[in-house]
DNA sequence: CTTCGACACTTCAACGATGAAGGATCGGTT
DNA sequence: AACCGATCCTTCATCGTTGAAGTGTCGAAG
């Protein structure tokens, strides 16, 4: 193992000079800097992470707490996790993956052991048990999602209200008047998962303003569940010409069921999905969709936590930013003008 | 921050006694152990990760290197990552997430800095650049996937050969004679991704033994690509009655296309998928599928690396195990007896 | 010709844990 | 009474890095 002392000896300086060259915290002459750098390269020196964390009281690790639950669309989670990892690396941090089944104790463990400098929490509930722990430990953290009381924390999330409104506007612009909103399973709403409720609220408000009638129906995302939901919708409101789908699993079944029931998309009914573009493009017809960038979410979360850590290590009190990312509507082949009344 | 010295003072012992109570490496009297444990609890002591890593020369961290690429089915990757994380915790390890765009340098960085004790590599290519680095650094590692030269490493993977054979057997048992194998995009084969080639090989061999005629066609997994692939298959071999699909993205389009071309599943054609059960159940009809457990894969990988680390820290030379996990065939509604010849 | 400040580097004491080596205590054996 | 071994605990050096404080040198100002 190559230590800083080996580098120092090789470059003919003291080890703290090597440390200063590497951290850039003191002025070092051009000549010495060059020599040290070339010794570092020649010996293949990498600072020992443990020693560095001990001495500097910073591990340069960010912990990312991901849900075990699989009722959220998994590729999105993965995309966020990867975006967090690559963004973190750009700021000189590594990412520790922990699962939220460790709960508040997990947060305590990570914070108290100094394993990570800060945390990013995913799948936050409105009234989350982990938040008081964070505050008690004085640990820097960012939430992906919104919580009731986010004092001392930063947050970032998609603007689901805007996403819901975009759906309503698009269908209203096309002349649709009766809409069905196919949501997640009822469990998601009972958990008060913010994203589900906020999308619905945004849709509901805009739908009201635009004079749309609509139904909201939960759906578990299986074929059977979608079939049941669709049957109920068509029984309750036979004049429905627009569908908003926020459940990734329900999209495929819905399209199949519409087809087999003799309804053509988009001539007879329009379908607009709240899902990743990649997924929207896999169906036939390709789906008009409202999307937020998962990568952006991860990137912003990292920037928030890195910013907080920088301020805190200078002895400051970080601002609690709340970022809402604006969603995008991409019009594809699944939406069109409402059919003329028969 | 609570240190081991605080605990020692509180319990009226020396700090190394606390250390021994916690590690269990020396005999400590029942009475003292009790007192130390209760002090630990009362003060909320968690050992400082950096100090522990420095002194013990083990970080208790396993690095998991995941692919950035998205042409593999992402939920499977996530499932593995989560299984690795939860299994690792059960062995007292945490998991550091790194992306394979860091390449061999990433491996060097992690190994040389002592950030992680060992690595688990995913998406390994047959001739992978990271493997020589691992060997040079003397780092313990496990591969998820198989490599050409795995000396000094452990490996775990699904038995894709067996999976391919299972597909051939099932269709042969049902009386099918002309089969189409819809694979991944050509890029996957050009990369010599082991799983694609091995599944095909297993299928090919068994198909030969069972007297099946078959076509193998690549497919990018989009609707258009699937349509093109299917059209070619039906033009080349109009008598095809069985489909094996190894591309998750192609399943939905294939089912839709078969239906719109007037073919009923399973009465006219049988479809067997190589994909997760969860996905197989989302289609209508539910798909007969051959599956390997992603959770099991993660669990075994962790057990291998933890085992290697234990042996190595006792000064031993770990065995290079290669585990192949047996896949399961679950018969659902998408396969049935071959239609009688017209 | 002293003094001062700027610059460039070094010295050295942390940081918080581990674990080898070294007591202290005690019952039992010669 | 002296010695022994076992048991249980403590002392202390060590891990590799950081950064405050200190040293030495040199040019410019007083």
Q: Which two tokens stand for residue B39?
A: 């002090």
Distance in Å from the first CA to the final CA of chain A: 81
What is the rounded distance in angstroms from the CA atom of residue A199 to the CA atom of residue A159? Answer: 8
Q: Tens of pLDDT along chain B (342 residues)?
A: 999 999 999 999 999 999 999 999 998 999 999 999 999 999 999 999 999 999 999 999 999 999 987 656 778 889 999 999 999 999 999 999 999 999 999 999 999 999 999 999 998 887 889 999 999 999 999 999 888 888 899 999 999 999 999 999 999 999 999 999 999 988 888 877 678 889 999 999 999 999 999 999 999 888 889 999 999 999 999 999 999 999 988 998 899 899 888 999 899 999 999 998 988 988 889 999 999 999 999 999 999 999 999 999 988 899 999 999 999 999 999 999 999 876
CA B144, distance to chain mean position in Å, is 5
Residue B40 φ/ψ, nearest 5 degrees = -55, -45
Average pLDDT over residues A269-292: 92
The whole-angstrom separation of Cα B267 and Cα B187 is 34
- CA–CA gap between residue B94 and residue A115 (Å, rounded): 10
Mean pLDDT of A159-183: 96
B46·A113 Cβ contact <8 A: yes
Report residue A315's pLDDT band, with 50, 70 and 90 as the boundaries.
confident
Task: Tell me what pLDDT residue A196 has.
Answer: 87
Q: Over chain A, what HEC string results?
A: CCCHHHHHHHHCCCHHHHHHHHHCCCCCCHHHHHHHHHHHHHHCCCCCHHHHHHHHCCCCEEEEEECCCCCCCHHHHHHHHHHHHHHHHHCCCEEEEEEHHHHHHHHHHHHHHCCCCEEEECCCCCCCCHHHHHHHHCCEEEEECCCCCCCCCEEEEECHHHHHHHHHHHHHHCCCCEEEEECCCHHHHHCCCHHHHHHHHHHHHHHHHCCCEEEEECCCCCHHHHHHHHHHHHHHCCCCCEEEECCHHHHHHHHHHHHHCCCCCCCCCEEEEECCHHHHCCCCCCCEEEECCHHHHHHHHHHHHHHHHHHHHCCCCCCCCEEEECCEEECCCCCCCCCCCC
C-alpha distance from residue A168 to each of A180, A202, B151 (Å): 11, 9, 59
Nearest nt to the CA of A14 via C1' is: C10
Q: What is the arithmetic mean of pLDDT over A307-332? A: 94
The answer to whether the CB atoms of A95 and B94 lie below 8 A apart is no
DSSP state of B245: E
Q: Which residues of chain B have a CB within 8 Å of the CB of A85?
A: 97-99
What does the pLDDT average to over A237-253? 93
Distance of alpha carbon A237 from alpha carbon A233, whole angstroms:
6
Q: Do A50 and B46 touch (CB under 8 A)?
A: no
Which residue in A has a C-alpha nearest to residue B46's C-alpha?
A: A113
* Inter-axis angle of helices A130-137 and A103-113, nearest 10: 20
pLDDT single digits (tens) A114-126? 999 999 999 888 7
Given an 8 Å threshold on Cβ–Cβ distance, is A112 in contact with B46? yes
Q: Which residue is nearest to nucleotide C13 (CA to C1')?
A: A55
Contact A53 B50 (CB under 8 A): yes
Number of Cβ within 10 Å of residue A119's Cβ equals 25
Nucleotide nearest to B45 (CA to C1'): C16
Using pLDDT thresholds of 50, 70 and 90, give the confidence band for residue A72. Answer: low
- Whole-angstrom Cα distance, residue B216 to residue B225? 14
List the beta bridge partners of residue B62: B95, B118
- Choose among B78, B112, B222: nearest Cβ to A77: B78
Residue with tokens 């939901």: A229
- Collect all residues with Cβ–Cβ distance below 8 Å to A130 and sequence separation of at least 6: A65, A100, A103, A104, A107, A121, A124
Residue A151 C-beta-side C-alpha neighbours within 13 Å: 4
Query: φ and ψ at B90, to 5 degrees?
Result: -65, -20
Tell me the whole-structure pTM to 2 decimals: 0.91
How would you write B51-81 as a 3-class SS string?
HHHHHHCCCCEEEEEECCCCCCCHHHHHHHH
- Which of B50, B139, B223, B247 to substitute to test the interface with A, most A CBs within 10 Å? B50
Residue B276 contacts residue B76 (beta carbons within 8 Å): yes
Contact B334, B270 (CB under 8 A): yes
Task: Please give the average per-residue pLDDT across A42-71, as a whole number.
Answer: 93
Residue B337 DSSP label: P
Distances (CA, A) of A220 to A189, A260, B73, B154: 12, 20, 22, 40
> Quick check: A31 pLDDT over 80?
yes
**B157 Rama sector, left if φ>0, alpha if ψ -120 to 50, beta otherwise:** beta
φ, ψ dihedrals at B20, nearest 5°: -70, -35
φ, ψ (nearest 5 deg) of residue A330: -115, 115
Q: Which pLDDT score, from 0 to 100, does residue A9 have?
A: 95
Contact A194, A146 (CB under 8 A): yes
Spatial separation of the C-alpha atoms in residues A39 and A220, rounded to whole Å: 60
Mean pLDDT throughout A313-319?
89
pLDDT at B195: 83
pLDDT at residue A71 above 70? no
Buried b (16+ CB within 10 A) or exposed e, B269-281: bbbbbbbbbebbb
Average pLDDT, chain A: 93
Residue with CA nearest to C15's C1' atom: A55
In this structure, are residues A339 and A264 in contact, taking their beta carbons and an 8 Å threshold?
A: no
Distance CA B26 to C1' C22 in A: 15
Read off the tokens for A180.
């069905």
Contact residues on chain B for A81, CB-CB shorter than 8 A: 78, 81, 97
């Amino acid at each position: 193992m190559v230590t800083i002392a080996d580098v120092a000896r090789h470059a003919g300086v003291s080890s703290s000079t090597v440390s200063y060259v590497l951290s850039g915290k003191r002025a070092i002459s051009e000549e010495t800097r060059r020599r040290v750098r070339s010794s570092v390269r020649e010996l293949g020196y990498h600072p020992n992470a443990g020693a560095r964390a001990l001495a500097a009281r910073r591990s340069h690790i960010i912990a990312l707490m991901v849900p075990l639950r699989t009722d959220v669309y998994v590729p999105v989670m993965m995309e966020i996790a990867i975006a967090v990892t690559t963004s973190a690396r750009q700021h000189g941090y590594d990412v520790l993956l922990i699962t939220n089944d460790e709960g508040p104790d997990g947060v305590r463990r990570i914070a108290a052991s100094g394993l990570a400098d800060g945390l990013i929490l995913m799948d936050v509930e409105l009234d989350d048990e982990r938040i008081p722990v964070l505050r008690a430990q004085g640990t820097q953290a960012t939430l992906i999602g919104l919580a009731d009381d986010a004092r001392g924390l930063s947050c970032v999330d998609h603007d689901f209200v805007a996403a819901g409104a975009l759906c309503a506007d698009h269908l209203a612009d096309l002349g649709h008047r009766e809409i069905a909103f196919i949501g997640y399973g009822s469990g998601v709403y009972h958990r008060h998962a913010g994203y589900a409720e906020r999308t619905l609220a945004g849709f509901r408000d805009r739908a009201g303003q635009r004079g749309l009638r609509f139904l909201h129906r939960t759906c578990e995302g299986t074929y059977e569940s979608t079939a049941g939901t669709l049957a109920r919708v068509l029984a309750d409101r036979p004049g429905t010409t627009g569908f908003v789908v926020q459940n990734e699993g329900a999209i495929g079944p819905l399209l199949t069921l519409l087809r087999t029931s003799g309804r053509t998309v988009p001539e007879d009914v329009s379908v607009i999905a709240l899902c990743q573009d990649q997924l929207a493009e896999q169906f036939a017809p390709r789906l008009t969709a409202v999307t937020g960038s998962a990568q952006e979410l991860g990137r912003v979360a990292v920037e928030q936590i890195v910013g907080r850590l920088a301020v805190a290590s200078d002895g400051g009190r970080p601002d609690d930013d709340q970022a809402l990312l604006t969603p995008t509507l991409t019009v594809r082949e699944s939406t069109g003008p409402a059919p003329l009344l028969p």
